Amino acid sequence: MTQDLVVVCADLDAEQALKTMLSNNLKLGTAPFSFSLYRHQGDSNCRNSAHDFLKPFVDQYRFALVVFDHHGSGDERVAPDEVRRQVLENLSRAGWQGRCEAIVIAPELEAWVWSESPNVAQVMGWESTPKLRRWLQEQSLWPEQVAKPSDPKSAYEKALRQAKKARSARIFAQLAEHVSYKGCQDASFNLLLDTLKGWFPPQEANFT
C-alpha cells in the first residue's frame, strides 16, 4: 500500500524538528498524512545523493521531501535556489518528477529558531524574549531592526551557553512543538509549509 510521504534530512537536529512538526497536522494546517523520516549522513550527502537513497521508494510513497542546510552542503558559492534546482532535477530523474521538493535552509537549521514567540526564549532557558534579544544585541549578535541574528547558529549556541543549557537535538523538537509557525519570515520554512499544504490540503478552516 502506498504511503504518503518519505523525508530525508541531514542530521539528528533536523530529524527531531521535522518529526515533531510532521506529527502535528493541525499546527501545520494540513490534512492528516503518514510519513517516514530518514537521516542521510550530513548536508553534502543530502545534496548530492538523496536521489539515489530515495530511488527505491518511488513506488512506495506519494511524495518525497529532502531537507538540509546550505552551509556545509558543498560549494556554498552556489546560491540556495540553484542548489534546490539541482536537487529537484536529480530527484525527477530518479522517478519523483512532480512529487518532490527540496528544502535548502540558508544558512542552516538554526535560522528556523528565531521568531518573536516568547516560547523561543523559554525553551532556550531564558526568562523572557526581551532579555534574550537585549543580550544578543549587546554581544553584537542580533542587530536592531533585523528580523533574526545575522549568524543564527552562533547566536543560538552562545545564548544556550549563557543560559547554562546543554545543547541538545531535543531543543529543536521542543521549539517545533511550542513555537507558533505563524509570521515566520524564513523562506525555506515557508516553502516547507506551503509544500505540505499543497500535497495534503487542509480539510478544516480553523488551525493553530
Q: Render 93-158 in DSSP notation, one character per residue.
A: IIIITTSEEEEEESS-GGGGT--S-HHHHHHTT-S-HHHHHHHHHHTTSS-TT-SS-SSHHHHHHH
120: which residues sit within 8 A by CB, 6+ positions away?
113, 114, 129, 132, 175, 179
Q: What is the pLDDT of residue 1?
A: 52
Q: Is the pTM of this model over 0.85?
A: yes
Which position has the grid cell 532557558?
125
Please list the ranges in the chain whose pLDDT falls under 70. 1, 204-208
pLDDT digits (tens, 9 = 90+) for 96-151: 999 999 999 999 999 999 987 889 999 999 999 889 999 999 999 999 888 889 89
Q: What is the pLDDT of residue 85?
A: 97
- Contact 144/137 with Cβ under 8 angstroms? yes
Bridge partners (DSSP) listed for residue 3: 61
Q: What is the pLDDT of residue 148?
A: 87
Q: What is the pLDDT of residue 76?
A: 87
- Contact 179/119 with Cβ under 8 angstroms? yes
- Contact 28/180 with Cβ under 8 angstroms? no
Q: In the chain, what are the domains?
A: 3-110+181-199 (3.40.50), 113-174 (no CATH)
CA 17 to chain centroid, in Å, comes to: 7
- Nearest by Cα to 192 from 25, 67, 83, 81: 67
Q: What is the pLDDT of residue 208?
A: 45
Neighbours of 155 (CB within 10 A): 22
Neighbours of 184 (CB within 10 A): 20
